[in-house]
Amino acid sequence: MKMEKQRTLPMKEFIPSLKKLVKPNYLKAMWPVAGVSIIFIALVSILTMLNTNIAVSLSMTMMMIMYGMASPLNLLFSLLEIIGIFAIIAALAFFYSFYALATQYTYQDKLAHPEQPVSAGSIWMHYKHLRKNQVWRIILYICLFTFLWSLPLNIINGLLLPHLSGMAAVYVAWIIRILNDIVVLWKSIEYSQSYFLYREKQPQFLGQSMRYALTASRRFMTGRKWNYFAILFVVEFIPMFVWSIIFGGLAYYGNYTATYVLTYIGIIVAIIGIACYLPVVYATMALYYSRARAGMEMDVLYKDTFKPVADLTGEAYIHEVYVEKQPAEQPSPVAKHEEEKKHEAKKDE
């Protein structure tokens, strides 16, 4: 498939455009985005600590069962609690993913309609109208394909490490881990535009496989991966990394000197600062897609993907008639005997 040359975005043009997009409605966007993010982090942290405590008590319960001091039902209840907490965390993760995507769509619409505000109301409107049954399938496909790409390295890791010892095992584990992180990052960048490209052809995705959005994203990012990575590194990673280092260092200092007030202040301020920066993160993703797709022929990204509607509805097979295959005719024993006689007579002649 012939692809047109991809357009990369210069950093010096992208950052002023990002400021112009975020600055007018930053406070209106910051409160709902940061608030939901902080609540999500707090709930997941509480549930994770609760799960850890249950797991610790689970080992004690197993020991008590061995000595006849507890019933196996206690073990079953503990396992059900752990599964239930994991289910709640998964539900919260899906909700937060939908909310983050709704924020990105809000910024995307603001680029097309500058009069639209980015606020709690507009984000919630996009969240309500999100086709969540389709979006969660995209999320699962991204997780599945990323896992499959990293699986060979994990298999190699499992096969090699038992046969190594000492520093060799440490070096091999680190090398495989770094390679695995590179693979995951690379595939994440390839699939990063899936949600926007799904939205681009949302009516056509009805009844289709959501993996076509990933295929379109992979084609879209051809020739753009390093440009996208550089923009994310400068705009997203460096500010959040510096903020985390400063206040994470404060938390470490407080823990090291047993000044636990500083520890809590450092952790809380680090989380709040990152949460307040998230509108910039979501705006960056929406802006990159909108600028990169400008003037691009989008239909080429979906070539040889969507199935014809007639195949999906079954209309293409309405007039097909099923005819059973007839078994090949076998000669009767009498005819076969006469044929053998004729053959013998020819030999005698």
CA angle (204, 207, 212) in 5-degree steps: 60
DSSP-assigned letters across all residues of 255-295:
HHTT-HHHHHHHHHHHHHHHHHHHHHHHHHHHHHHHHHTTT
**Residues in CB range of 46: below 8 A, 6 or more apart:** none
Quote the pTM value: 0.83
Block means of pLDDT (10 residues each) for the chain, length 349 residues? Answer: 62 92 92 95 93 81 71 78 92 95 95 91 93 93 94 85 77 88 94 94 88 94 92 94 93 86 92 94 95 86 85 73 68 58 58
Q: Report pLDDT for 160.
A: 80
Nearest Cα residue to 278 out of 108, 29, 28? 29
pLDDT given for residue 336 in this prediction: 55
Q: Alpha-carbon distance 122 to 113, whole Å?
A: 13
d(CA 32, CA 28): 7
CA distance 94 to 232: 23
Give dist(CA 33, CA 196) in Å, integer: 19
Q: How far apart are CA 47 and CA 53, in angstroms?
A: 10
Distance of CA 13 to the CA centre of its chain: 29
Which residues contact residue 137 at a Cβ distance below 8 angstroms, ignoring those fewer than 6 apart?
A: 210
Residue 192, token pair as written in the block: 């990063």
Cα 183 from Cα 177, distance rounded (Å) = 10
214, exposed or middle or buried, with CB in 10 Å at 0-12, 13-18, 19+?
buried
CA distance 203 to 253: 54
Amino acid symbol at 28: K
Q: State residue 307 phi and psi, 5-degree precision.
A: -80, 150
Q: Which positions ≥6 away from 120 have C-beta within 8 Å?
A: 28, 31, 32
- Structure tokens, 261: 């007030």
Q: How far is CA 254 from CA 245, 260, 271, in A?
A: 14, 5, 16
Of the candidates 215, 161, 178, which has an alpha carbon nearest to the alpha carbon of residue 193? Answer: 215
How confident is the model at residue 159, as a pLDDT?
82
Structure tokens at 204: 């056509």
Mapping DSSP onto H, E and C, the string for 187-208 reads HHHHCCCHHHHHHHCHHHHCCC
Residue 70: per-residue pLDDT: 67
User: How far is Cα 343 from Cα 233, in angstroms, rounded to an integer?
Assistant: 87
